[in-house]
Structure 1
Amino acid sequence: MSVLIVCPGKDPENWVKALENQHRGMNIYVYPEDHDKEEVEFALTWNHPRGLFKNYPNLKVIASMGAGVDHILSDDALPEGVKITKVVDDTLTEDMGDFVLSQVMNHIRGLHHYVKCQKEKEWDKFQYKRPQDTKVGVMGLGVLGNAVADKLHKNFFKVYGWSRTEKSCENVTSFYGKEQLEEFLQNSEILVCLLPLTEDTENILNADLFDMLPEGAYVINVARGEHLVEHDLMEMIDNGHLAGASLDVFREEPLPEEHPFWEHSKINITPHIASVTKPESVVPQIADNYDRMMEDEPLKNRVELDKGY
């Protein structure tokens, strides 16, 4: 019985070392090195080649290296009956909260504006807002969304949340479902997207949604690039309805050099670093699920396939 690591474009060495340290004697293969496909029952992956796993007749579990699983579920050729797990990690959660808070503070204090001013040698003061006077809406109230909402509340922001189904979150004014989306958006001077990527949420950040935000609203996307209709965002910024955006995720990564986002003065770009998985932090739960698979016990952090998260 073996574990297969599949992460094209990433260095798997730290994952291999962490698994070997956590689970002595585990037999580990790294794709695309030669290996016996019939031996593999457990795969650990990020952005695997489409259709790869259909070639593994005894595969039981596919584990995501991160909190997101859309990179797995988007493969139409997954083996039937395979179980999928995601990472839930305190370090990832804390890092996401810190990052979103930094982007929100950057916006209300105009720090991105001053970077531009320094380049152009302009002495131009920005009329900042205080957290107590700022409404932030968080789309998606899962583990990460809850953590972000809590972080913002503890820093005195007025926090609103929206989710597909009803959820009760402490210190958050919650909305749910399509019927309550507009009311939620009307209370979102800063909108943070932390939704899972599903058929229902793909392209959700579009002109119709932006139009329901207050004039001068700011958009932060730390979920997936496929949530955003890029042309709609630029158009709504350029016509003055939106103040700007902070984007950490994109449809194509790395962002191509010719992409218009690079040159847009009101779009702040970071290279998908809001919350980065650390192998030594998450490998214990992955090794635990490997043992659970071996003992035919329920897996932790298993994805509900009908929901997509």
Structure 2
Amino acid sequence: MPIEVLISAPEAVAAEYIPHLERAFETEELEIALIRDPEAAGGAEYVIWHPEGPVTDYAGFPKLRAVLSLWAGVERALGNPTLTAPLCRMVDPSLTQGMIEYVTGHVLRYHLGMDAHILGQDGVWRNEVVPPLARDRRVGILGLGALGGDVALALGDLGFQVEGWSRRPREESRIPAHSGEEGLEALLARTEILISLLPGTAATENLLNRRTLAMLPRGAFLINPGRGGVVNDQALIDALDEGQLAHATLDVFRVEPLPPEHPFWRHPRITVTPHVGAETRADTASETIALNIRRDQDGEALLYRVDRAQGY
């Protein structure tokens, strides 16, 4: 008998994913009945979840074995009291590669001082400032999970002095890693370009505030493609106005789309990008979904299962 799988996603998203999912299920040798109508999916064993999909009440799925997210972030699912089945976040090779490319681009922009030349096409020959080589530039990464760890390694391979920080100690790797309050202070004190790839949890809310931003060397840069709530909006604006920070690139926000009246849009030292740092790609994400279902059916542990106590 086929395994019932419900895809709970907006119509356009579901239509994009279905052919890729069908190919991935075939590759994993899974006999799947892929269902789009929640009313016809009472026997579903798995729900493929998109935060804007139609399913909000999971009580009607008594056979549910797991909810498999199409997004890396699962904050909007964690608060659902009817979702008691295991919840798995999306870890997608294409998403990771997209984040590496986004972060690398903006790090190089700040490292090379590109804005002075791109924006200064006014006949002035500006060659008085020669950027250091990557080996002399200190980059700090907050969050060393699936995304942060790979971003750190990629920047290290380019020669940057990369250090990382996570809330909990990490196993040894090529990238020096800190943890805890003292570790955060030590990292910030020597970081010229700071990248936040932290998840959005109660413990990370407003982690970058007036006190912690002041720990950075004066004139540092911030890149945040992680979660908007990690940065205190007003503290960031103040740090930019006072010259403590030179510029910030922000890809994630507390409210999305970012409202037109928000001061970030008009601030001369803020670059707003519309949450494009890392998109889930249907082809490779479908492979992750199919692999996880196959593992669960074979009695193996689900990959990327969310620890509800930690929030990610």
TM-score, reference length from structure 1? 0.89
In structure 1, the residue matched to 2:213 is 210
Q: Structure 1 residues 62 and 191, CA, compared in 2 at 3 Å: closer, same or farther?
A: same
User: Cα distance, 1:189 vs. partner?
Assistant: 1.0
Q: Residue 38 of structure 2 contacts residue 55 of structure 2 at CA under 8 Å; is this kept in 1? A: no
In structure 1, the residue matched to 2:304 is 301
1:253 lines up with 2:256 in the alignment: yes
In structure 2, the residue matched to 1:105 is 108
Matched positions, count: 303
Select between 108-117 and 230-239 the one with higher mean Cα deviation: 108-117
In structure 1, the residue matched to 2:57 is 52
User: Cα distance, 1:77 vs. partner?
Assistant: 1.8
In structure 2, the residue matched to 1:19 is 21
After superposition, residues 35-114 of structure 1 pair within 5 angstroms as 35-48=39-52, 51-73=56-78, 75-80=79-84, 82-114=85-117
Identity of aligned residues (%): 34
Q: Residue 112 of structure 1 contacts residue 268 of structure 1 at CA under 8 Å; is this kept in 2? A: no
In structure 1, the residue matched to 2:289 is 286
User: Cα distance, 1:9 vs. partner?
Assistant: 8.2
For 2:235 and 2:277, locate their aligned partners in 1 and report how far apart those are by CA, in whole Å: 23
Select between 218-227 and 19-28 the one with higher mean Cα deviation: 19-28
After superposition, residues 129-140 of structure 1 pair within 5 angstroms as 129-130=131-132, 131-140=134-143
In structure 1, the residue matched to 2:277 is 274
Q: Residue 138 of structure 1 contacts residue 191 of structure 1 at CA under 8 Å; is this kept in 2? A: yes
User: Cα distance, 1:237 vs. partner?
Assistant: 0.2
User: Cα distance, 1:139 vs. partner?
Assistant: 0.6
In structure 1, the residue matched to 2:9 is 7
Q: How far does the alpha carbon of each residue in 1:67-102 deviate from its partner, in whole angstroms, 9 at most, with x for none?
A: 2222322x232433x101122233222221221111
If asked which structure has higher relative contact order (CA below 8 Å, sep 6+), I would say 2
Q: Structure 1 residues 268 and 9, CA, compared in 2 at 3 Å: closer, same or farther?
A: farther
TM-score, reference length from structure 2? 0.88
Aligned CA RMSD, in angstroms, stands at 2.3
Q: Structure 1 residues 91 and 34, CA, compared in 2 at 3 Å: closer, same or farther?
A: closer
Q: Structure 1 residues 128 and 71, CA, compared in 2 at 3 Å: closer, same or farther?
A: farther
- Match of 2:32, SS state, is coil
After superposition, residues 106-255 of structure 1 pair within 5 angstroms as 106-118=109-121, 121=122, 123=124, 125=126, 127-130=129-132, 131-255=134-258
For 2:130 and 2:49, locate their aligned partners in 1 and report how far apart those are by CA, in whole Å: 43
Q: Residue 224 of structure 1 contacts residue 249 of structure 1 at CA under 8 Å; is this kept in 2? A: yes
Q: Structure 1 residues 83 and 142, CA, compared in 2 at 3 Å: closer, same or farther?
A: same
User: Quick one: which amino acid aligns to residue 17 of structure 1?
Assistant: P
Gaps of 5+ in 2: none
Gaps of 5+ in 1: none
- Match of 1:52, SS state, is coil
- Match of 1:178, SS state, is helix
User: Quick one: which amino acid aligns to residue 183 of structure 1?
Assistant: A
Select between 183-192 and 86-95 the one with higher mean Cα deviation: 86-95
User: Quick one: which amino acid aligns to residue 44 of structure 1?
Assistant: I
For 1:27 and 1:182, locate their aligned partners in 2 and report how far apart those are by CA, in whole Å: 52
User: Cα distance, 1:200 vs. partner?
Assistant: 0.3
Q: Residue 98 of structure 1 contacts residue 151 of structure 1 at CA under 8 Å; is this kept in 2? A: no
Q: How far does the alpha carbon of each residue in 1:175-219 deviate from its partner, in whole angstroms, 9 at most, with x for none?
A: 111232111110111110011221101221211210111111111
Q: Structure 1 residues 191 and 289, CA, compared in 2 at 3 Å: closer, same or farther?
A: same
For 1:146 and 1:124, locate their aligned partners in 2 and report how far apart those are by CA, in whole Å: 39
Q: Structure 1 residues 225 and 128, CA, compared in 2 at 3 Å: closer, same or farther?
A: farther
